[in-house]
Amino acid sequence: MAVGLTPKHIFEYALNELSSERFLTLAHETALSLQWKVSFVSGEGILAYTDNGVFSWNAEVKIKIEGAVAKIQSASVGSEIMDLGRNKRNVEGFVSAFESVQKKLSSEEIDVKFELLKPQFSVDEKGVLNLDPASSKDSIKNFFSVFVPSEEFSITPILLDANILIFVLMAIDGVNIFLPDNQSLLDWGANFKPMTLEGGWWRLLTNCFLHIGIVHLLFNMYALLYVGVLLEPLLGKIRFASVYLLTGIAASVASLWWHDLTISAGASGAIFGLYGVFFALLTTNVIEKSAREALLPSISIFIVYNLVNGLRGGIDNAAHIGGLISGLVFGYALLPSIKKPADEKFTWVTVGFLTLLTFVSSFVIYHKLPNNMGEYELKMKEFVEREAIAMEVYQLTGDTPKEKLLAEIKDKGISSWKENIKLIDSFKDVDLPLAVRTRNRLLREYCELRIASLELLYKAVAEDTDQYKEQIQQLEWQVESKITEITGKQTEE
C-alpha cells in the first residue's frame, strides 16, 4: 500500500532481448487491451490513464524506456492519501497483460503495428506533458519540500506557510489550538457581519488565513496542497495567487451576504475557488482529454462531498458556494491567457480586469448590505447604559430624603426602563435573526417587570407603607427568573 501526497508504485521491467520499438508497441497494445486511455505516445514512452468509472479512483500510468529497462509507474489521480494497493495492482496487471499480449503477437505483427503507431508519436513530448496537471506532482520530492518555494512551485508553499504561521502565532498568543473562542477569532480578523460592515472591510481577506482549530487547518492545507500541485503549474504564479486571493474575497462577500451572526474563518472559500477554476478548465481542451476524464471524477467528488457536508451546522457553506462560483467564472475568464503563456502582458491585463471586477462588485455589495446587527449592537449599548442608571436606585441608602428617593425612582428608574422599552420596540420592523428577536421579546418582558417593581416601590415610599413588600418580592423573583432565561438563551446561541 502506497501512502503520501501522491501514492504511487514504480517497477523496472527488464527489456532483455526485446527492442525498445517492439516493447513500446506491445506496451501500447497492452494499455488498449486494459481499456486504458492513452493520452501520449513517443519513442521514449507512453502516458495513459486507467478508466475505472466516474465514481472510482483512477491512476496515471507512465511507461518510460531508459536503456535496458522500462520504468512503469502508476500514480494516483485524485485527492487520496492511501491507495490501498491499487497502484501496485495496476503495475502488476499491466505486466501480466503485457506478457499475454507478447505471446499472442508474432515479431512480424509487432513490427507492422509499430509502423502504424509511429505517426502518433508526439513531436514535442515536454510540451504535451506540461499540459498534463498530474505530471507536475513529480516536482515534490519529500514532505518538507512542499513548504519550500521553488522556481516552478512557489505560490502554494507560500500560502501553506502563511496559513500555518498565522495559526502558530495565534497559539503563541494563547488561542486554543483545538477550539478557539469567538473573541479570539474576531481579534485575529475573522469575518463577522456586524464588525465587517462597521468599517472592518479588511476581514474579507484576513479570515481566509485563519482556522478554527488544528483539524480545520490540516484538512484545508491538504486540500490546498493537492489542488496547488495540480493547478499552479498550469496557471502560473500570477494567475494562481490572484485566484486564491480574489475568490477568497468573493467567498467572504457571499458569507457576509448570507449570514447575520456567523463568525467565519478558514481558507476553504479560497480553496473552493481554486477547485472551481480547475473544474472549469477540466471542461475545456486546455488539459488533454484523457487527463480530464481521469481527473474530473475525483474533483467532482471533492466538490459535491464538501458541499453536502457543509449542510450540517457549523460550516460556512455560503463561502464554499461563493468561492466555487467565482472560481468557475475566473477559470473560463483566464482560459485565453492560459492558451497564450508567452504573452505576459495579456496575463496581467486579464488578472487586472478580474481584480477590478472583484473589488467593484465587493464594494457595491459591501455598501448595499444593511448592517442591521451592527446598528442593533450600537443601540444595545444605550440599553446597557440606561440599565446601569436605572439600577442606581437600588444603591440609595435608607436615610435618603423621601422627595429625592421618589424623584430617583421616577426619573432615573422608571423613566430609564420605559426608554429601553421604546428602544427595543424600535427594532420591531427591522430584519433581525430569530434568536435576536426572541431575546428582544424577553428583554421587553424584563423591562416591564422592572417597571412594575419600581412603581410598587414608588407607592410604598409615597404612602410610607410595607403592604406592597410581598408583591415587590414576587416581582424581584420574576426578574431574576427572566434574567436567567435571557442569559440561558444567549448561551445556547
More reliable by pLDDT, 330 or 288: 330
Residue 82 pLDDT grade (very low, low, confident, very high; cuts 50, 70, 90): low
CA distance 112 to 150: 45
CA distance 354 to 242: 9
Q: Is residue 139 part of a domain?
A: no
Asked whether residue 268 falls in the same domain as residue 288, the answer is yes
Per-residue HEC secondary structure of 253-273 comes to: HHHHHHCCCCCECCCHHHHHH
- The DSSP annotation for 343-354 comes to -HHHHHHHHHHH
Asked whether residue 200 falls in the same domain as residue 261, the answer is yes
CB atoms near residue 384 (< 10 Å): 9
Q: What is the pLDDT of residues 444-453, one digit of tens each?
A: 999 999 999 9
Query: What pLDDT was estimated at residue 188?
Result: 97
Query: What pLDDT was estimated at residue 79?
Result: 60
Query: What pLDDT was estimated at residue 124?
Result: 44
Closest-CA residue to 229 (of 117, 153, 144): 153
CB < 8 Å & 24+ apart, contacts of 404-409: 405/461, 406/458, 406/461, 406/462, 409/454, 409/457, 409/458, 409/461
What cell was used for 324? Answer: 466555487
For 361, counting Cβ atoms within 10 Å of its Cβ (0-12 exposed, 13-18 middle, 19+ buried), the class is middle
Q: Which domain holds residue 42?
A: 8-130
CA distance 254 to 365: 9
Residue 122 pLDDT grade (very low, low, confident, very high; cuts 50, 70, 90): confident
Considering only 71-85, 228-242, 445-459, which range has the smallest mean pLDDT? 71-85
Query: What pLDDT was estimated at residue 491?
Result: 34
Asked whether residue 258 falls in the same domain as residue 338, the answer is yes
Residue 53 pLDDT grade (very low, low, confident, very high; cuts 50, 70, 90): low
Residues making up the chain, counted from first to last:
493
Asked whether residue 166 falls in the same domain as residue 104, the answer is no
Asked whether residue 160 falls in the same domain as residue 299, the answer is yes
Q: Average pLDDT of 171-190?
A: 95
- Angstrom distances, CA of residue 78 to CA of 95, 210, 293: 24, 26, 12
Asked whether residue 185 falls in the same domain as residue 262, the answer is yes
Asked whether residue 71 falls in the same domain as residue 154, the answer is no
Q: Is residue 256 part of a domain?
A: yes
Per the prediction, the chain carries an average pLDDT of 87
Residue 309 pLDDT grade (very low, low, confident, very high; cuts 50, 70, 90): confident
42 pLDDT above the threshold of 70? yes
Asked whether residue 21 falls in the same domain as residue 65, the answer is yes
Closest-CA residue to 131 (of 122, 143, 121, 120): 122
Residue 399 pLDDT grade (very low, low, confident, very high; cuts 50, 70, 90): confident
CB atoms near residue 343 (< 10 Å): 13
Asked whether residue 436 falls in the same domain as residue 452, the answer is yes
Query: What pLDDT was estimated at residue 132?
Result: 40
Of 325, 352, 368, which one is at a domain's C-terminal end? 368
Considering only 151-155, 234-238, 396-400, which range has the smallest mean pLDDT? 396-400
5 pLDDT above the threshold of 70? no
Residue 226 pLDDT grade (very low, low, confident, very high; cuts 50, 70, 90): confident
Considering only 30-44, 123-137, 284-298, 374-388, which range has the smallest mean pLDDT? 123-137
Query: What pLDDT was estimated at residue 266?
Result: 94
277 pLDDT above the threshold of 60? yes
Query: What pLDDT was estimated at residue 7?
Result: 75
- Angstrom distances, CA of residue 148 to CA of 140, 141, 162, 167, 469: 10, 11, 12, 18, 75
493 pLDDT above the threshold of 70? no
Q: Is residue 135 part of a domain?
A: no
Query: What pLDDT was estimated at residue 66?
Result: 86
Q: Is residue 144 part of a domain?
A: no
Query: What pLDDT was estimated at residue 142?
Result: 57
Query: What pLDDT was estimated at residue 299?
Result: 86
CA distance 390 to 382: 12
What percent of the chain is modeled with pLDDT above 70? Answer: 91
More reliable by pLDDT, 220 or 123: 220
CA distance 251 to 269: 5
152 pLDDT above the threshold of 80? no
Asked whether residue 298 falls in the same domain as residue 195, the answer is yes
- Domain CATH code at residue 344: 1.20.1540.10
Specify the number of domains making up the chain: 3
Residue 197 pLDDT grade (very low, low, confident, very high; cuts 50, 70, 90): very high
Residue 458 pLDDT grade (very low, low, confident, very high; cuts 50, 70, 90): very high
Active-site residue set: 268, 320
Of 334, 368, 402, which one is at a domain's C-terminal end? 368
pTM of the model: 0.72
Q: Is residue 1 part of a domain?
A: no
Residue 289 pLDDT grade (very low, low, confident, very high; cuts 50, 70, 90): confident
For 209, counting Cβ atoms within 10 Å of its Cβ (0-12 exposed, 13-18 middle, 19+ buried), the class is buried
Q: Is residue 229 part of a domain?
A: yes
Q: What is the pLDDT of residues 355-385, one digit of tens each?
A: 999 999 999 999 999 888 888 888 999 999 9
Q: Average pLDDT of 404-410?
A: 91
- Domain CATH code at residue 81: 3.30.310.80
